[in-house]
Amino acid sequence: MTRALLLLGALLLVPAAAMAADDVVPLAVDHLARASTDSEVSSAVRWVVLLTSLSLLPGIVLLMTPFTRFVIVLSLLRQAMGLQQSPPNQVLVGLSLLLSITVMQPTWTEVDQVAIQPYLAGDISTVDAWDAGIVPLRAHMLQHTRREELQTAIRIGRMAKPKTLDEVPISVVVTGYVLSELQGAFVTAVKVYIPFLVVDLVVASILLGMGMMMLPPVVISLPFKLLLFVLMDGWSLLIVGLTGAS
């Protein structure tokens, strides 16, 4: 008899539990909906998106700033002077990065004002922040992209000839900008190489005339190259020339 009463009570509780569940589910959904619009949750999501986007920073530095041109020119300068590991690679990369940040400072400031700060404040969405932030970078790249390299990038992209620069996709703009930076880096490297090449030829000719063919010309020419570079105030000339073209 007792078992029968317990079973009957359990059966009577099932509909009540089902009705309670029906009431709980909408309440839970409504609570989640309110939480999804809560400012704290939205702020946390925005910070997560911002931190995740930092993974793209190395690619942005390499492809959308003059960093590539700086590091190539500095590396070829070291090679032209006959230096093996001085300055070391870490110094060249650090100097190139610092110069890139300095040159791009106005662009970074504009990106921060029109995209990052409004996004963190919740005034614009992620898509709007991307659209606003890419405009200054796009303008910088187009300003320093040669027409020939941009046309080459358009041909590579197999797209119809655009009527205006606004119709050019960002991927094509980046490609043209990188090609222009590589072209500019090698042109500058040739100008840097020529004086040191002349010193090598003069030293080699003198050693050959003196019959000192067993003495490596590089060993003798290195001090003269360093002296020439210092007397010309080479670092200032090179840095001003690189940043002035950026």
**What's the pLDDT tens digit per position in 17-66?**
444 444 444 434 444 444 445 455 456 666 676 677 677 777 778 888 89
d(CA 33, CA 35): 5
Contact (Cβ atoms closer than 8 angstroms) between residue 76 and residue 189: yes
Look up residue 204 and give its two tokens.
């080699």
| pLDDT of the residue at 42 | 58
Predicted TM-score of the model (pTM): 0.73
Is the residue at 47 inside a domain? no
- Domain of 96, in residue numbers: 57-244
Is the residue at 39 inside a domain? no
Q: How many domains does the chain have?
A: 1
Return averaged pLDDT per consecutive 10 residues of the chain, 246 residues in all. 40 40 43 47 63 75 89 92 85 92 90 86 81 89 90 86 83 92 92 89 84 76 88 88 75
Q: For 42, phi and psi rounded to 5 degrees? A: -65, -40
Is the residue at 116 inside a domain? yes
Is the residue at 184 inside a domain? yes
| pLDDT of the residue at 5 | 38
d(CA 28, CA 183): 61
What's the CA dihedral at 64, 68, 71, 76 to 10 degrees? -160
- Determine the Cα angle at 191 with ends 189 and 197, to 5°: 95
d(CA 107, CA 84): 35
Is the residue at 180 inside a domain? yes
Is the residue at 26 inside a domain? no
d(CA 246, CA 65): 9
Alpha helices in 54-169 (DSSP H): 57-64, 67-80, 89-103, 105-111, 117-120, 126-143, 147-156
Is the residue at 147 inside a domain? yes
Is the residue at 37 inside a domain? no
